[in-house]
Amino acid sequence: MSLRPYRDIIRKKTKEIKVGDVKIGGLNPISVQSMTNTITSDTFSTLKQIENLVNEGADLVRISCPDKDSTKALKEICKQSEVPIIADIHFHYKRALEAADNGAKCLRINPGNIGSKNKLSEVIKAAKNNDCSIRIGVNAGSLEKDILKKFREPCPESLVESALRNIELIEENNFNNIKISVKSSDVFLSIAAYRQLSKKTDYPLHLGITESGSFIPGSVKSSIGLGILLLDGIGDTLRVSLSDDPVKEIKIGNEILKSLNLRSRGVTIISCPSCARQGFDVIKTVKKLEDELSHIRTPITLSIIGCVVNGPGEAAQTEIGITGGGNGSSMLYLSGIQNKKIDNKDMISKIVSLVEKKEKEIKDK
C-alpha cells in the first residue's frame, strides 16, 4: 500500500495491443509519441528528426504519407528507425496498403476521409498481413458528413458515434488490433468525448488535444486536457500537438506523465522561481543544468533552491539538493542529508558529476 495514497492514479485496464515491440494498453506504461514535420521522402532529414525524438524519449513516431514517394521512403525509414513507425494516412487508402507493406507498425486512418467499406477492408487486410495495428483517428474537424449533419456541429456525442461506428466496421473484418482517438482543439470537447468513449469501449485510447497551438498555449492546453483525463485513469498513449519543434512535444508529454507519477525518466529538477534572497542565479543555473543533464535517462531527483527558506525542506525530499547561502557558496545535500558547502562557481560541474555518478550507481545495482 502506498504511503501517499492521494498520489495514486487508478488506470482503467484496457485491451493490450502491440505497435511493433511497444505494448499499448493493459497496464503497460503510457507511451509518448510525436510526428515528424520533414518531407517524408527526404529520408535523411526524416531519420535525423526521428533520432532526435528518440533521444528525447519518444516511444513511437508518426510519419505523414501523403504520396507514393513518402510510402516508398518509408521502407528505408522503418528499417533504420529505433522505434516503431506509425503511418499517417488521409484520403488515399492505397498509401495505407503501401505503408503496411513497407514496414509501418501502425496505420493511423481518419474515418471521415478514408473512403468506402471496400477500401477500409483492403486496409485491414494489409494490416493483418503485415502484423500492423490501426488507430481510428476521429477528429472534430473532419467528421463524416452524415454524422455532422445529424449533430449539426462537433460535440462529444458526434465524436464517440464516429469512433463506435468505425470500431464496428473494423471488427466486422475480424480485426481488433486497434486503438482510438477522439481529438478536438477544444479542451472541454476533448475531455467529454474521451470520458464518454472510455465508458463504451475497452480498446486502448490515444490521447491528444489536436492543433493546440504554439509552444506556450499548446503546452498549457495539452497539460490541462491530458492531465484531467490521465487523473481519471484514461489514456494509454499520448501526443502533445504543438506548432513547434516536435522534440518539444516529447519533452512536454514526458513532463506531464512525470508530474502525475505515471512515468519516470531522466532528472526531475525542483527549483524555485528566484527572488532577492537567492544566493546564486537560480534561473541561469537551472537552464544550464537542463542542458547538461539532458543525456541522463535514469530517474533522479534534484532540487535547486536559491535560499534557506524552503531549500532544506526540498533537499530532504530529493536525492541531490542545493540550497543557496551566502559569501559565494551553497549547501549540498545528498539523499536529504546535509553534506558540505560548495563554491557557487563550481556548482554546475559538481552537480553534473554527482548526477552521473548516481546514475552509474543505480545501473550497477
pLDDT digits (tens, 9 = 90+) for 279-327: 999 999 999 999 999 889 899 999 999 999 899 999 999 999 999 988 8
Angle between helix 117-129 and helix 93-101 axes, rounded to 10 deg: 10
User: Is residue 224 within 8 Å of residue 190, measured between CB atoms?
Assistant: no
**DSSP alpha helix (H) spans, the chain:** 43-56, 68-80, 93-101, 117-129, 145-151, 156-171, 187-200, 215-231, 246-259, 282-292, 311-315, 347-364
| 3-state DSSP assignment of residue 256 | helix
Question: What is the residue whose three cell numbers read 485491414?
Answer: 124
With a cut of 50, say whether residue 1 has pLDDT above it: no
* Number of CB atoms found within 10 A of residue 276's CB: 6
| 3-state DSSP assignment of residue 154 | coil
How much is the pLDDT for 325?
85
Mean pLDDT of 117-142: 92
How much is the pLDDT for 5?
63
As given in the structure block, the three cell numbers for residue 213 are 497551438
With a cut of 80, say whether residue 26 has pLDDT above it: yes
Please, what is the Cα angle at 247 between 297 and 27, to 5 degrees? 55
d(CA 131, CA 119): 18
Digit-coded pLDDT (tens) for 186-204: 999 999 999 999 999 999 9
Mean pLDDT of 100-113: 88
Q: How confident is the model at residue 3 (pLDDT cuts 50, 70, 90)?
A: low
Q: How confident is the model at residue 240 (pLDDT cuts 50, 70, 90)?
A: very high
d(CA 206, CA 190): 12
As given in the structure block, the three cell numbers for residue 206 are 490515444
How much is the pLDDT for 4?
63
- Statement: 267-364 belongs to CATH 3.30.413.10: yes
Mean pLDDT of 327-351: 94
d(CA 362, CA 346): 24
Q: How confident is the model at residue 350 (pLDDT cuts 50, 70, 90)?
A: very high
pTM of the model: 0.90
Digit-coded pLDDT (tens) for 39-76: 999 999 999 999 999 999 999 999 999 999 999 999 99
Q: What is the mean pLDDT of the chain?
A: 93
How much is the pLDDT for 340?
93
With a cut of 70, say whether residue 175 has pLDDT above it: yes
Domain with CATH 3.30.413.10 in the chain: 267-364
How much is the pLDDT for 91?
82
Domain with CATH 3.20.20.20 in the chain: 10-259
- Statement: 10-259 belongs to CATH 2.40.160.40: no
Mean pLDDT of 265-287: 93
Mean pLDDT of 115-128: 89
With a cut of 80, say whether residue 6 has pLDDT above it: no
Digit-coded pLDDT (tens) for 141-164: 888 889 999 999 999 999 999 999
- Long-range CB pairs of 248-251 (<8 Å, 24+ gap) are 248/215, 248/219, 249/34, 249/35, 250/32, 250/33, 250/34, 250/53, 250/56, 250/57, 250/58, 251/56, 251/57
With a cut of 50, say whether residue 86 has pLDDT above it: yes
Please, what is the Cα angle at 227 between 221 and 231, to 5 degrees? 155
With a cut of 90, say whether residue 113 has pLDDT above it: no
**Residue 344 gets which letter from DSSP?**
G
